[in-house]
Amino acid sequence: MYEEESNQILVQDDDPALQHPIIRQMVIQLRATDSYGTFDTWSDARVLDPLVMTKERRRAIPIVGDPDEIIITRIKAFYNAMSQMIEKETGIMATPVINISHEGFGRALILVGKLVALDKTLRDVHRFGFGSLDILIEDANKLVTKACELVNEHRVVAEL
């Protein structure tokens, strides 16, 4: 969507953020959804680039809009990646549950056993993205840390 509007790739192949575990997991999740092999020849930076939502890119997207399947796939990849990080940290399976209306509103939950470890309201998902990969990492780390703390505090419920 964004590449068609401007051929400028913002994420560079030598960006150190590409080595962060949450980013590595995002690449795995996004490549796993590529059933047509489009990403086979793309670098990891190019695969992740649409997630970087600069002010210019945001301005190019209408304020009101419906999300397409590509955007929804990116959102699912983000929460799948966080689920993997939570599972790795706690040793208990984490499952993302995402519900998004055709208008771009909804909720993302990550369940660990019977425990809701993460509950995030989603709005304007057609504009989903982060200012940079570093901001993506920071936001994801905050959510994963909170979720892991919750799992550890209520481990009995998480293990049900």
Spell 48-66 as b/e; 16+ CB within 10 A means b: bbbbbbeeebeeebeeeee
3-state secondary structure of 109: strand
Classified by CATH at the fold level, domain 2-158 comes out as: Putative cytoplasmic protein (1.10.3100)
What's the pLDDT at 64?
Answer: 77
Residue 5 has a pLDDT of 43
DSSP helix/strand/coil, 118: strand
Domain ranges of the chain: 2-158
Residues of the chain with confidence (pLDDT) below 50: 1-6
For residue 159, the SS3 value is coil
Give the model's pLDDT for residue 4: 43
Q: What confidence score (pLDDT) does residue 2 get?
A: 39
